Structure 1
Amino acid sequence: MSDLLSALLLGIVEGLTEFLPVSSTGHLLIVQHWLGARSDFFNIVIQAGAILAITLVFRQRLWTLATGLGERDNRDYALKLATAFAVTALVGLPVRLAGWELPETVTPVAWALILGGVWMIVAERLAERRGDRTDVTWTVAVLVGLAQVVAGVFPGTSRSAAAIFMAMLAGLSRRSSATEFVFLVGIPTMFAASAYAFLELWMKQGLGGEAWGEVALAFAAATATGFVVVRWLLGYIKSHRYTGFAVYRVLLGATLLLVLPAGD
């Protein structure tokens, strides 16, 4: 397989899985096992493509919030987004600096996929018993921020899955409302995480030796695919549960444990 085609496939996989509650880490682990591992810079760039995609999807919502801060509801929602981001940053940065993170290898990622799938099924059922609540509370904002930190420590958990189901358990029981809030929080969170990783990489080893054409192709693929996937998911969850994704996670985790060597 050519390097360009490999880069294209990796970009598509990133765009497909970054915002679905199935773990982009687990999928990239599988794909890179057969296509070959890429540089840290490459992985940062394709994640940035996914972030750009979700920014484009929510561009109107972001504009409404930014220009409507004089209205109480917009200001309250924006402050809660900022709170969730601040919790992630204030807790997550010390955790990152302390090196508290499991390796992105088969065994921990596979178990995070399996346990996360079971957690999704249980959490969704519990949340549905609370009724159809749509208001984002301060408790939801704080817990979403903490859930993002947990997802960073345990690769394979899926940031979106951890945060969405924490929001639902904390009282934001409508799937669409929880998903929108988590996706909006994810924009500054993932931009900040990617920027931090980029600076860390640049200070340690620089950026030489990259195949820039492949990087650009993968970035474009992640952006285009991510845009389509997020638009589809926002429509899908209005009338469907997340159960299918949960079952898929369990099957994928079991497959990883059975097929790939534990040290990969």
Structure 2
Amino acid sequence: MNDLLAALLLGILEGLTEFLPISSTGHLLIAQHWLGARSDLFNIAIQSGAILAITLVYRQRIWSLATGWQQPAQRDYLLKLSAAFAVTAVLGLAAKLGGVELPETVTPVAWALLLGGVAILLIERRARHFGDIAEITWKVALVVGAAQVVAGVFPGTSRSAAAIFAAMLAGVGRRPAATEFAFLVGIPTMFAATGYEVLRHLMEGGDAEAWGELAVAFVAATITGFIAVRWLLGYVKGHTFVPFAWYRIALGAALLLGLPAGS
């Protein structure tokens, strides 16, 4: 397949899966078995394309947080976003430097999809007891920050899923509130991760990346990500994440059953 077309397809796939709790990294890894493997920089940079879509969707909310920090409620929310990001940055950098990460092969991704689906079912059942709680506490912020690191260590977990369900597990009963916090904290997280990978790439020479293909995938991820997140924000107002759990379980089981030994 033409490399540019493959990059376009990967960008579309990233945009569609980044915000759904089904793991964009896992889907990209699976797709790259057929479309060709890509660099860490490519995979993280196109995730930032999807995160740019979140920035556009939440532009008014971000503006109100940036300009309304004098208001106690706005300042409190902004500080909790900052705390969640700080936890992710410190623990994530420590994990990165320490080499704490599973290999990005299909087997661990399949297990992460399957077990993550089961976890979603259990968390959804527990979340019924939290009622209409929408408050983002300090506990929620710290747990969400740590959950993002877990998603980075275990390919196939899904960063957005880990953050959303960590918030729900920590007591946020309203899915829209948990989703908003998870999405907003993902903005600095993914942009920082991209900056780290770009810096590392440049320090290692910076001449092997196909920048044109990366740009095409980035734009595709931004456009499809914008569409996907607008849909999801409407969906969570009246639905649970249970269908996504069963999708993860089915896909994970199918991958495990279809894998040759040693994959």
Q: Determine helix, strand or coil for the equivalent of 1:129.
A: helix
* Alpha-carbon distance, 1:45 to partner: 2.4
Matched, 1:225 2:213: no
Whichever residue aligns with residue 74 of structure 2, its letter is: N
Structure 2: 5+ residue stretches without partners = none
Matched, 1:111 2:111: yes
Q: Determine helix, strand or coil for the equivalent of 2:73.
A: helix
| Residue 247 (structure 2) aligns with | 248
Q: Determine helix, strand or coil for the equivalent of 2:49.
A: helix
* Alpha-carbon distance, 1:135 to partner: 0.7
- Residue deviations 1:69-114 (CA, integer Å, cap 9, x gap): 1111100100110111111112221121101110110111110111
TM-score, length-scaled by structure 2? 0.96
- Residue deviations 1:192-222 (CA, integer Å, cap 9, x gap): 1111122122222x22243333222111100
| Residue 52 (structure 1) aligns with | 52
* Alpha-carbon distance, 1:261 to partner: 4.2
| Residue 42 (structure 1) aligns with | 42
Q: Determine helix, strand or coil for the equivalent of 2:130.
A: coil
| Residue 92 (structure 1) aligns with | 92
Whichever residue aligns with residue 151 of structure 1, its letter is: A
- Residue deviations 1:145-201 (CA, integer Å, cap 9, x gap): 111111111111111111111111111110000000010000001111111122122
The 8 Å contact of residues 11 and 219 in structure 2, kept in 1 or not, is answered as yes
Q: What aligned pairs does 1:168-187 form with structure 2 within 5 A after superposition?
A: 168-187=168-187
- CA distance in 1 between counterparts of 2:49 and 2:185 reads 17
Whichever residue aligns with residue 7 of structure 2, its letter is: A
- CA distance in 2 between counterparts of 1:54 and 1:188 reads 11
- CA distance in 1 between counterparts of 2:27 and 2:5 reads 17
RMSD of equivalent CA atoms = 1.3
Whichever residue aligns with residue 127 of structure 2, its letter is: A
Change in Cα spacing, 1:130 to 1:209, as seen in structure 2 (3 Å) is: closer
Q: Percent identity?
A: 70
Q: How many pairs does the alignment contain?
A: 263
The 8 Å contact of residues 65 and 75 in structure 1, kept in 2 or not, is answered as yes
| Residue 81 (structure 2) aligns with | 81
The 8 Å contact of residues 105 and 262 in structure 1, kept in 2 or not, is answered as no
Change in Cα spacing, 1:178 to 1:262, as seen in structure 2 (3 Å) is: farther
- Residue deviations 1:117-155 (CA, integer Å, cap 9, x gap): 000110011011121101110110011111111111111
Whichever residue aligns with residue 17 of structure 1, its letter is: T
* Alpha-carbon distance, 1:8 to partner: 0.8
Change in Cα spacing, 1:91 to 1:38, as seen in structure 2 (3 Å) is: closer
| Residue 129 (structure 1) aligns with | 129
Change in Cα spacing, 1:263 to 1:227, as seen in structure 2 (3 Å) is: farther
TM-score, length-scaled by structure 1? 0.96
- CA distance in 1 between counterparts of 2:259 and 2:200 reads 30
The 8 Å contact of residues 144 and 163 in structure 1, kept in 2 or not, is answered as yes
* Alpha-carbon distance, 1:262 to partner: 5.8
Q: Determine helix, strand or coil for the equivalent of 1:208.
A: coil
